[in-house]
Structure 1
């Protein structure tokens, strides 16, 4: 699931992106911007953040603003205000110290869509370092710890776009419009 090599949004992100309320979307560790472009096509203003300038150059334009930022630099403070984003999307990236900031930057009616590698992925290649692999149910527990309500969650094997062990989560803040979420979860 190398985000630099894939141009189409993940099926998980595409499934839940239409549920995002109006407003600005954060694509964190955006790579070449496939999800940023998807949200922009849905009418959102998108802030795409990555430390890779070449990837950001691919992501920029058509409703997508880019920001070069090293999310893992301990000398840098989290640059986003509380309750700023209508939605936050993170794929193929894990840096556990950011979870509290993600939750704080999500609006009360906002949506978090997260998809990344899980324990067991070492059997399929990289990443194989446990520091970059979620433990079973870890995203679920983190969402609960952040006060988010889970719309959908998966933890296991996927064959596409390549064999991998992944966890996927779609969760929302307490002010989210649940009626629409139930319809999308049932249709997926």
Structure 2
């Protein structure tokens, strides 16, 4: 089955930050709109979702993992990705794991609903809506390239979204000083 839903404008806008050919993780991937976007740009993709029908729809794109990431263990412990993509999903206990899953030189692209959204639609429960500045706080240790927190139209929604990169590991050799002629 092919998804007719286009990738998020935010993800498309900042997807160039993902290193060429790097592995991309799509968390709560649903029907795979972002997996397809990156797959079509020659990235190895991995999608995680709780729903079996979601996983069935993306299995031909790359690694497809059916897992309950809210009530079960994180299925990719210690693995890092050039891109970690999350849209329309929030499980606060997972935020540190998602940030830790960004490889050196990689990027976290995250967009989800924020407080205020309860006035225009669902989700409306506070546990599914980011508090002001919450994504910024969660991304400490990453360099924020772009961040937005506010109202968008068509469809009407309150969102927070961030593009944040983990600085690449230094490839330089540390300078060693020695004292010559010391007794």
- Normalization by structure 2: what TM-score? 0.86
- Corresponding residue for residue 166 of structure 1: 159
1:1-188 equivalence runs, <5 A = 7-21=5-19, 22-61=21-60, 63-73=61-71, 76-144=72-140, 147-160=141-154, 162-175=155-168
The number of equivalent residue pairs is 166
Contact between 1:82 and 1:106, CA under 8 Å: does it hold in 2? no
- In structure 2, the gaps of 5 or more residues are 170-183
Q: Is the 8 A contact 1:27 1:36 kept in 2?
A: yes
Q: Which shows bigger deviation, 34-43 or 5-14? A: 5-14
Moved more, 94-103 or 52-61: 52-61
Pairwise CA RMSD: 1.5
Contact 2:104 2:168 in 1 (8 A): yes
Residues 23-46 of structure 1, C-alpha deviations (whole Å, 9 max, x = no match): 211000001000010011111010
- Partners of 2:18 and 2:74 in 1: how far apart? 23
**What TM-score do the two structures reach when normalised by structure 1?**
0.84
SS at match of 1:109: strand
Higher helix share: 1
- Any stretches of 5+ residues in structure 1 without a counterpart? 177-188
TM superposition shift of 1:143: 0.8
